[in-house]
């Protein structure tokens, strides 16, 4: 499980031992919603750019190709040819995203597929069954993600239901892990802290889920409308009530600056679509800020995206060439930008781990943020 190796202030350097290998933390998980990173990135590419954990989505894989198909193919690892850890999101956030199409009850949620409109029911048991079929390393509990600006009564009722749902998730996962035909009988369940921007609701919820002694805990619902300052305030309020000897995962966050700030506050796991989404639009991260390669200033620029970067794009190609590919709508342009951005994030996490080990995280964070002033 989780081994805390070093603390520098509240920043944690750890190792999380799983059936699919050891995760060095803090870690940034690369988001492959439908079992692939958008941008024509293969699992071989992920190995080359230092990816530790791939994240896929329960809802999307349930709708297409179907979790039963993935199970028949031997589980997600075999299906996508990836032998390192995989975390699957429970589908709760997608249900929240399909706000106009959903109907929440105590049993679970009825909503319509975004692909063909067919009616789908998902509750805690269904989410666990789907994730068990996918055979991911880490499964996330099924929760409702209340809007960050929802009123207090709605948030309290939602969180109370999420506690009841978590108990059902745990019971069902224990049952599934004991079945003979389950592919991964060592699947790990992470609980999710909710409560919008109400500190007291968040703290009480953190205490309740900590009592359940799960392998890890996430802070959810902080990537949807609140300010960065509010997000940091909530993290600071909640972290002391989550066990330091378990990993803490900040869901859906974020920019390089968000990650640097959250690591300082004790977060171990991160995921975000920014590096791949921005890359597909020609926006690339560097230690000196974010560049938009569509800009005319790069038309004759022979430099790589970032001097000294060892990603597949920077080792070989110029900004001018990548700009041409993007302008010509050649898929290679998008692919090279996504690879660069994921490499940037993965290697920033390596630097973070090293800085914590050396007891100089504060100094590293300041230097990194000063360098990339316009990445916020």
Query: Can you give the CATH number for the domain in which 83 is found?
Result: 3.20.20.105
What average pLDDT score do residues 355-362 get? 98
pLDDT tens digits, residue range 320-344? 999 999 999 999 999 999 999 999 9
Instruction: Tell me: pLDDT of 363 over 70.
Output: yes
What tokens appear for 157 in the block?
């009722």
Give the separation between CA 229 and CA 261, rounded to whole angstroms. 10
Share of the chain above pLDDT 90, in %: 89
pLDDT-based confidence at residue 258 (cuts at 50, 70, 90): very high
Give the separation between CA 366 and CA 260, rounded to whole angstroms. 9
pLDDT-based confidence at residue 146 (cuts at 50, 70, 90): confident
- Say if 76 falls within a structural domain: yes
User: What residues have CB less than 8 Å from 272, skipping those under 6 apart?
Assistant: 28, 31, 223, 252, 253, 254, 255
Three state DSSP letters for the chain: CEEEEEEECCEEEEEEEECCEEEEECEEEEECCCCCECCCECHHHHHHCCCCCEEEEHHHHHHCCCHHHHHHCCCHHHHHCCCCCEEEECCHHHHHHCHHHEEECCCCEEEECCCCCCEEEECHHHHHHHHHHHCCCEEECCCCCCCCCCCHHHHHHHHHHHHHHHHHHHHHHHHHHCCCCCCCCCCEEEEEECCCCCHHHHHHHHHHHHCCCCCEEEECCCCCCCCHHHHHHHHHHHHHHCCCCCCEEECCCCCHHHHHHHHHCCCCEEECCHHHHHHHCCEEEECCEEEECCCHHHCCCCCCCCCCCCCCCCCCCCHHHHHHHHHCCCHHHHHHHHHHHHHHHHHHHHHHHHHHHCCCHHHHHHHHHHHCCCCC
The interaxial angle of helices 361-371 and 331-357, nearest 10 deg, is 150
37 strand-pairing partners: 41
- pLDDT attached to residue 60: 94
268 flagged as catalytic? no
* Structural domain range at position 133: 2-272
- Say if 73 falls within a structural domain: yes
30 strand-pairing partners: 54
Nearest of 51, 5, 57 to residue 251 by alpha carbon: 57
Q: Is there a single domain that holds both residue 292 and residue 255?
A: no
- pLDDT attached to residue 99: 54
Q: Is there a single domain that holds both residue 163 and residue 299?
A: no
Please report the sign of the dihedral spanned by the C-alpha atoms of residue 23, residue 25, residue 28, residue 33. positive
160 flagged as catalytic? no
Give the separation between CA 24 and CA 84, rounded to whole angstroms. 12
Q: What does residue 342 show for φ and ψ, rounded to 5 degrees?
A: -65, -40
Q: Which residue has the tokens 């106009």?
A: 100
- pLDDT attached to residue 357: 98
Q: Is there a single domain that holds both residue 171 and residue 306?
A: no
Q: Is there a single domain that holds both residue 268 and residue 289?
A: no
Q: Is there a single domain that holds both residue 24 and residue 162?
A: yes
Catalytic residue among 271, 301, 303, 370: 271
Among 235, 255, 272, give the residue marking a domain's end. 272
pLDDT-based confidence at residue 376 (cuts at 50, 70, 90): very low
Q: Is there a single domain that holds both residue 320 and residue 233?
A: no
Domains of the chain: total: 2
Catalytic residue among 8, 45, 89, 268: 89
* CB distance 238 to 206 below 8 Å: yes
Among 232, 253, 272, give the residue marking a domain's end. 272
- pLDDT attached to residue 100: 59
Range with the poorest average pLDDT among 3-12, 147-156, 172-181, 292-301: 147-156
Q: Is there a single domain that holds both residue 21 and residue 63?
A: yes
**For the chain, what is the mean pLDDT?**
95
- pLDDT attached to residue 66: 97
Instruction: Tell me: pLDDT of 272 over 70.
Output: yes
Pairing of strands 216-219, 2-8: unpaired
Q: Is there a single domain that holds both residue 82 and residue 179?
A: yes
- pLDDT attached to residue 18: 98
- pLDDT attached to residue 119: 87
Peptide bond into 221 cis (omega under 30): no
Give the separation between CA 68 and CA 248, rounded to whole angstroms. 30
- The pTM of the full predicted model, rounded to 2 decimals, is 0.97
- Say if 376 falls within a structural domain: no
- Say if 331 falls within a structural domain: yes
Instruction: Tell me: pLDDT of 79 over 60.
Output: yes
């Amino acid at each position: 499980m989780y081994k805390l190796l070093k603390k520098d202030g509240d920043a944690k350097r750890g190792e999380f031992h799983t059936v699919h290998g050891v995760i060095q933390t803090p870690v940034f998980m690369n988001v492959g919603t439908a079992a692939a990173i958008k941008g024509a990135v293969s699992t071989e590419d992920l190995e080359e750019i230092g990816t530790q954990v791939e994240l896929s989505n329960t809802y999307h894989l349930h709708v297409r190709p179907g979790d039963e198909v993935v199970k028949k193919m031997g589980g997600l690892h075999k299906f996508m040819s990836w032998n390192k850890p995989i975390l699957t999101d429970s589908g709760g956030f997608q249900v929240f995203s399909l706000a106009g199409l959903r109907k929440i009850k105590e049993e679970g949620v009825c909503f319509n597929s975004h692909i063909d409109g067919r009616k789908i029911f998902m509750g805690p048991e269904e989410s666990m069954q789907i994730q068990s079929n996918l055979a991911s390393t880490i499964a996330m509990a099924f929760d409702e993600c209340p809007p960050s600006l929802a009123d207090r009564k709605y948030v309290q009722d939602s969180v109370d239901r999420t506690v009841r749902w978590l108990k059902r998730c745990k019971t069902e996962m224990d049952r599934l892990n004991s079945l003979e035909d389950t592919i991964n009988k060592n699947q790990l369940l992470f609980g999710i802290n909710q409560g919008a921007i109400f500190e007291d609701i968040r703290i009480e919820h953190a205490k309740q889920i900590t009592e359940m002694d799960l392998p890890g805990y996430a802070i959810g619902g902080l990537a949807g409308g609140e300010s960065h300052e509010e997000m940091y305030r909530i993290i600071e309020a909640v972290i002391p009530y989550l066990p330091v000897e378990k990993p803490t995962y900040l869901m859906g966050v974020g920019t390089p600056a968000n990650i640097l700030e959250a690591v300082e506050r004790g977060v171990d796991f991160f995921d975000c679509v920014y590096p791949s989404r921005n890359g597909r639009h020609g926006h690339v991260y560097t230690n000196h800020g974010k560049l938009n390669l569509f800009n005319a200033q790069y038309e004759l620029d022979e430099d790589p995206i970032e001097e000294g970067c060892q990603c597949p794009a920077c080792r070989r190609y110029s900004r001018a060439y990548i700009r041409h590919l993007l302008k010509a709508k050649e898929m290679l342009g998008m692919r090279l930008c996504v690879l660069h951005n994921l490499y940037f994030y993965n290697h920033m996490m390596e630097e973070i781990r090293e800085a914590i080990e050396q007891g100089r995280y504060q100094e590293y964070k300041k230097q990194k943020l000063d360098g990339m002033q316009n990445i916020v």
